A and B are shown apart, each in its own frame.
Chain A
């Protein structure tokens, strides 16, 4: 798949650059826009951003890797975000994530988000989803699932195709 930024998007980003005293300050806005358009930030997107803003690719790469919500790989169709902040952690979110991983054949000990080989599921730990009262919680795409147990997790996997 070749990397091509639509002219309208490029024009919007060029205009955006003028809002900042330094071009470099527009880096995050560029990355947000590119992720929104392409679904993830590819190496080509990093190089394109660096070229546009007069930076070296490593400068942009630092940003992309610093923020966990910038995605370097395409996400699965169903995106399972398991909360790991205190309430959920106490209520067993680690087990919930391990269950998801096990069912999907992923490594439960890995640090970063993982996507199944068929591209259907991505599982990752995230920080607080602001539903501590019903921990552990899982956000599947845009839907919040509360008090998630192994059985509920299996339901989620069944429906999320």
Chain B
């Protein structure tokens, strides 16, 4: 069980003549990842979701807030004592083409973390070989074919599976999947997604799924929680299916409205919402962060920041909450 509360991260931009500028990436984010559960973060590029994934995986520090793993607050520990905690959380990279060392065979790639694991658990080399083959079989590829090969000899889908197998070498409890299928061919994408879904069930690992494609979130974490993040702030959260079928915040509605409609199979939702402007980080930080782009904004929106308040099983941060029906509807033949 991982609980994060009030995570703040600000990047300092250095070097230009006007002096340093602070770029807030996360402005106080709370969430929990239950054992075996699925948590999804969706948002546009630049909303802070990748930073969040890296913080959870221990690859990035945070400026304020706390991450508690199984009751232990991470900020109370020295970096080297944090290591065993964060080892249980593994990141699956966005791009399977750059996540593997091109000069190492898949065997070498898997051997390094397995050697560490063998040392920790007092096992021998034969166990390592067996475990490597076992893991590759688990992610659905033929060990005999893949092990002696270099990454460039494998297809994108296979590489992504190798990356997942590598993450599994240290027996993690949480997989952080950051846009992990966006670079894969369409017909293979669902295969990798169903693998992640399958791992959740078989190994009881939790998945923190970070994406801008809400439909894939629905496939993997349909039973979990969905967080909609905008400019470093959670603007809506709730059970995935509830948020998708009844979005309350206009930003969530804009994201869902932007998903292409498969004309011929479905019809556009009746109340699609289109933001009035494109994302501009330089927009004022006072009031609601989405106000400048929001078609429903009024004076209060630019004056006062809305707080995240519960509404049924969902929560939203909006002065004018209203459920809208924006997702495509099945066309009746």
Partners in one complex: no
